[in-house]
Chains A and B, each alone.
Chain A
Amino acid sequence: MNPDGIYWPLPVAVRAGQSGVPVTVAGIGVEAVREEWLVEDRWWTPAPLSRRYFEVVLADGRNLVVFREPAADGQWFEQRA
């Protein structure tokens, strides 16, 4: 853990639809999903990293990147990416 990292992910409350795509982020509706990508890394270690990233546009105009971390009990995070 390195809390000094500027890219360090921060927990965020996300409600996702059945397809796993975010519907609200921190209670604010998602207007559009601009991009979606997967990051699979460290699969050769006991702690593999598997993230599904979404770049979303919120109803208040903000552009955010969020991802879901299955290794952290499916917790959602917001990250500068």
Chain B
Amino acid sequence: MPIACALIPRFSLLTVLGERRELMGKALALAPEPGGPQVIGQTSGAAEAFGVRAGMALGEALSRCPQLTLAEPDPEQAEETWETTLGRLEGIGAGIESHCAGEAFFAAGGLRRLWGGSVEGVLVRAGGVIGGPVRLGAGPSRLGAYAAALAMPPRRVRRRRGPGPEAVVRSGFVLVPDGAAQAFLAPLSVRLLSERLASNWERATIPGLLERLGIRTLGELAALPDDAVADRFGEAGLVALAMARGIEAPLCPREPREDIAERLELHEAASGLELERVAELLVDRLLANPARRGRSIRRLRLAAQLVSGGGWRVDVTLRLASADRERLRLALTPKLTELPSPAAGLTLRALELGEAEGAQATLHDDSNERRRERLGEAVRQVRAAGGREAVLRVLELDPASRVPERRATLTPFPEGEGIA
């Protein structure tokens, strides 16, 4: 099943620049997010020519390129713009997996009959709905599709080098056939992993370390023995190794998202008590939003457009999913003190919804039942904050086994039934 990749390189940086795209010709990078680690975000090509890369410490980036210009980041705006694009892609029937703005993967096989009978037909359609300088490619794995998308040059640039004999070019798209992912990836630099590994730390560390050890291409990495890679890089190294061999977990498309958000533009820069009143107003509006359909709110995102430029945001997970105005206000208000500068606008978005408000009370007091409900609620809260794998249950298989790994395994923790 071919995986398609839609890629807009430096999407967050382009979103921040808006109409001022001529600045991309200068050494430019996104400044560190307020309150976050002091590392720079996406960089322009001119900055990369100085050896400045996303994820690099700010001090090191400025040492390498003293004339580096920093643009205020606005992740909320980038995500919002990207969300619109994803909605358009879902409109053509694609089940989207997207972990960061500017990058989306979807299974193209099932869409062929809808859009021209071929993968390139699907890509043409996807390019049409996304618009702009999008790069598209397809391959049997995410990394293969990503590399194929990168190998598709913008239309105005003449192709200097082909994508290699393992891939085919149809209608201007690079397509990697099934079974050819490892061969296609083999001559490519291990730097390609820096865009695909899970955490910032892995992205910043593993490709550089591989290069220092003399492993420069994905083919050289794929040829290494598993235990040697595990010994040096641990679990993340094994993931990188599997990627280089064209082996990845199946796509995990997101559930279609309901966007329940309220926004208020402020005519003057606001902070302190004034901003608290605005947040209260947004809570009221969010609770009155008909799209909520009576459901409680489990996770919220408070975002601000700063007067100084750029944006700020914070996620708030409630201990108990609630639709109580006072409870939401108490959870949000302390976060406003973290704002790095006065705000020109505030947005409140419900990221995750709970059950319908007004839970039915029981006639008699059953402490076991109450405990079960509270435990289930705690599990849902931890999952809302840390993902589905954040809470697991130890399942004993053979507790007396002399071989420890046979004694127990981890299984998903039930939220409702089965909690003793």
* B394 contacts A75, C-beta separation under 8 Å: no
* B404 contacts A81, C-beta separation under 8 Å: yes
Chain A interface: which of B174-182, B227-235, B269-277, B353-361?
B227-235
B404, closest chain A residue (CB): A7
Given A79-B404, A80-B404: A11 and B231 interface contact (C-beta under 8 Å): yes
B225, closest chain A residue (CB): A73
Chain A contacts for B26, CB-based, 8 A? none
Q: Is B118 an interface position by the 8 A CB rule?
A: no
Chain B contacts for A11, CB-based, 8 A? 227, 230-231, 234
* A4 contacts B410, C-beta separation under 8 Å: yes
B403, closest chain A residue (CB): A41
Which one of B230, B234, B402, B405 contacts A5 once the chains associate, using CB atoms below 8 Å?
B405
B389, closest chain A residue (CB): A4
Q: What is the number of residues of chain B that contact chain A, defined by CB distance less than 8 Å? A: 17
Given A10-B234, A13-B231: A41 and B402 interface contact (C-beta under 8 Å): yes
Taken residue by residue from 231 to 269, chain B's Cβ proximity to chain A (1 for < 8 Å, 0 otherwise) reads as 100110000000000000000000000000000000000
* A75 contacts B404, C-beta separation under 8 Å: no
B-facing residues in A34-51 (Cβ within 8 Å): 39, 41, 49
* A5 contacts B409, C-beta separation under 8 Å: yes
**Minimum C-beta distance from A27 to chain B (A):** 12
Which one of A7, A12, A41 contacts B407 once the chains associate, using CB atoms below 8 Å?
A7
Q: Is B408 an interface position by the 8 A CB rule?
A: yes
Chain B contacts for A49, CB-based, 8 A? 403
* B405 contacts A72, C-beta separation under 8 Å: no
User: Main secondary structure on chain A at its contact with chain B?
Assistant: loop
* A79 contacts B227, C-beta separation under 8 Å: no
B231, closest chain A residue (CB): A11
B-facing residues in A1-33 (Cβ within 8 Å): 2-13
Q: What is the bound-complex CA distance between A77 and B227, given in angstroms?
A: 10
Chain A contacts for B407, CB-based, 8 A? 7
**Minimum C-beta distance from A74 to chain B (A):** 10
Taken residue by residue from 62 to 81, chain A's Cβ proximity to chain B (1 for < 8 Å, 0 otherwise) reads as 00000000001101000111
* A7 contacts B405, C-beta separation under 8 Å: yes
* A72 contacts B227, C-beta separation under 8 Å: yes
A-facing residues in B348-406 (Cβ within 8 Å): 392, 394, 402-406
Q: What is the bound-complex CA distance between A41 and B230, given in angstroms?
A: 25
**Minimum C-beta distance from B410 to chain A (A):** 4
Q: What is the bound-complex CA distance between A39 and B407, given in angstroms?
A: 14
Q: What is the bound-complex CA distance between A8 and B409, given in angstroms?
A: 9
Q: What is the bound-complex CA distance between A13 and B230, given in angstroms?
A: 10
Q: What is the bound-complex CA distance between A8 and B408, given in angstroms?
A: 9
Which one of B227, B231, B235, B408 contacts A7 once the chains associate, using CB atoms below 8 Å?
B408
**Minimum C-beta distance from A70 to chain B (A):** 13
Chain A contacts for B227, CB-based, 8 A? 11, 72-73, 75
* A8 contacts B405, C-beta separation under 8 Å: yes
Which one of B230, B231, B234, B405 contacts A2 once the chains associate, using CB atoms below 8 Å?
B405
* A2 contacts B409, C-beta separation under 8 Å: yes
A72, closest chain B residue (CB): B227
Chain A contacts for B409, CB-based, 8 A? 2, 4-6
* B230 contacts A6, C-beta separation under 8 Å: no
Taken residue by residue from 53 to 94, chain B's Cβ proximity to chain A (1 for < 8 Å, 0 otherwise) reads as 000000000000000000000000000000000000000000
Q: What is the bound-complex CA distance between A72 and B408, given in angstroms?
A: 22
Q: What is the bound-complex CA distance between A2 and B404, given in angstroms?
A: 12
Q: What is the bound-complex CA distance between A49 and B234, given in angstroms?
A: 23
Q: What is the bound-complex CA distance between A5 and B411, given in angstroms?
A: 9
Given contacts A41-B402, A79-B405, list 6 more A-B pairs with CB under 8 A.
A4-B409, A4-B411, A6-B408, A9-B404, A11-B231, A80-B404
Instruction: Name B residues whose Cβ lies closer than 8 Å to a Cβ of A.
Output: 227, 230-231, 234-235, 392, 394, 402-411
Chain A to chain B contacts (Cβ below 8 Å), 6 pairs: A5-B408, A5-B409, A11-B231, A11-B234, A49-B403, A81-B404
